[in-house]
């Protein structure tokens, strides 16, 4: 199901990918609060199309460790460059903001910080602990980078007891290196497998972006690879080109095709599959977590 127009001009968005401009009362409140707290969100940095809907339902994905990434993935809108230091007070400010918003579920992600010995794992762990301390009962999901394969860094985050550990595979093996040149497909799978080794009951999650040159069978194989790594939760969404500097969209999948992939994933044994054109890693993450409350079935 590949599209031959992989390198052609960007096409007009299909009707199912059009969303309303954000601007409701909750959206404006959260935007102002984040500005005053000197915090970043992936909602803004990655230009997520769901920002209006999620912020209106008082849901946001916080991006720690600054807003400058040490890697340049060819599909991502986050700024690449040399990060400026490390903010040790960020976990406390984050927890205070989560408390102020009255959140019962919080998602934390980050840029890649290959300049740090632990890839930023300490700040991840402290953020989890501060939220648990300041906002008892708030569930925490982390969406982490690969920490350059460091087992010590991974163990540091897992030991802080997030409720969901998310690491996105993003695409199939064949396409992976062309869009994530400093990542590794097998390393990403191994990271998810290691989480289960460290804490078998911890829910794991990953995400796939469609439209970066993959074939249908390769998507299904990637889903199977994730299940072999004992991944519990899966998101599947449509790639949208952030700018002309990023890779073109190879094709737009229809809502019906996303539904088919959702059915395939559930038949494979994923606890929950969120599959749709506008689905992103943290879209309705609280609802996904609720489905992973029971012990995963071993493969």
List the domain boundaries for the chain: 21-290
Report yes or no: 266 and 273 within 8 Å, Cβ to Cβ.
Answer: yes
Matching CATH number, 21-290, of 3.40.1280.10, 3.30.360.10, 3.40.50.720, 3.20.20.70 = 3.20.20.70
290 pLDDT above the threshold of 80:
no
**Pairing mode of beta strands 40-41, 233-238:** unpaired
CA distance linking residue 280 with residue 207, whole number of Å: 8
- Please tell me the pTM assigned to this model: 0.85
- Going by C-alpha positions, the residue among 162, 76, 160, 139 that lies closest to residue 112 is 76
Residue pLDDT, tens place only, 236-279: 999 988 888 899 999 999 999 999 999 999 999 999 999 999 88
169 versus 44: which is more confidently predicted?
169
Neighbours of 108 (CB within 10 A): 27
207 pLDDT above the threshold of 80:
yes
Residue pLDDT, tens place only, 2-55: 343 334 445 577 776 665 655 566 666 666 666 666 666 655 544 555 555 565
């Amino acid at each position: 199901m590949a599209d031959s127009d992989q390198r052609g001009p960007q096409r007009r968005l299909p009707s199912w990918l059009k969303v309303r401009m954000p601007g409701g009362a909750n959206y404006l409140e959260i935007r102002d609060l984040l500005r005053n707290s000197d915090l970043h969100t992936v909602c803004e940095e990655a230009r997520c199309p769901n920002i209006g809907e999620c912020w209106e339902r008082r849901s946001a994905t916080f991006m720690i460790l600054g807003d400058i990434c040490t890697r340049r993935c060819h599909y991502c809108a986050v700024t690449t460059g040399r990060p400026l230091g490390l903010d040790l007070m960020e976990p406390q400010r984050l927890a205070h903001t989560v408390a102020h918003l009255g959140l019962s579920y919080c998602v934390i992600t980050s840029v890649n910080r290959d300049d740090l010995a632990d890839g930023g794992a300490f700040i991840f762990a402290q953020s989890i602990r501060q939220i648990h301390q300041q906002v008892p009962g708030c569930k925490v999901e982390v969406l982490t980078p690969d920490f350059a394969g460091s087992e010590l860094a991974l163990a540091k985050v897992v030991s802080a007891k997030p409720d969901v550990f998310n690491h996105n595979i993003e695409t199939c093996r064949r396409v992976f290196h062309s869009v994530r040149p400093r990542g590794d497909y097998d390393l990403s799978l191994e990271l998810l497998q290691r989480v289960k080794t460290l804490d078998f009951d911890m829910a794991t999650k990953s995400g796939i972006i469609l439209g970066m040159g993959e074939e249908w069978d390769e998507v299904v194989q990637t889903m199977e690879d994730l299940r072999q790594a004992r991944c519990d939760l899966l998101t599947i969404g449509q790639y949208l080109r952030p700018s002309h500097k990023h890779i073109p969209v190879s094709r737009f999948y229809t809502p019906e095709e996303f539904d088919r992939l959702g059915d395939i994933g559930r038949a494979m044994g994923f606890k929950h599959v969120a599959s749709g054109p506008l689905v992103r890693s943290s879209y309705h993450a609280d609802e996904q977590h609720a489905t992973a409350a029971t012990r995963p079935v071993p493969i």
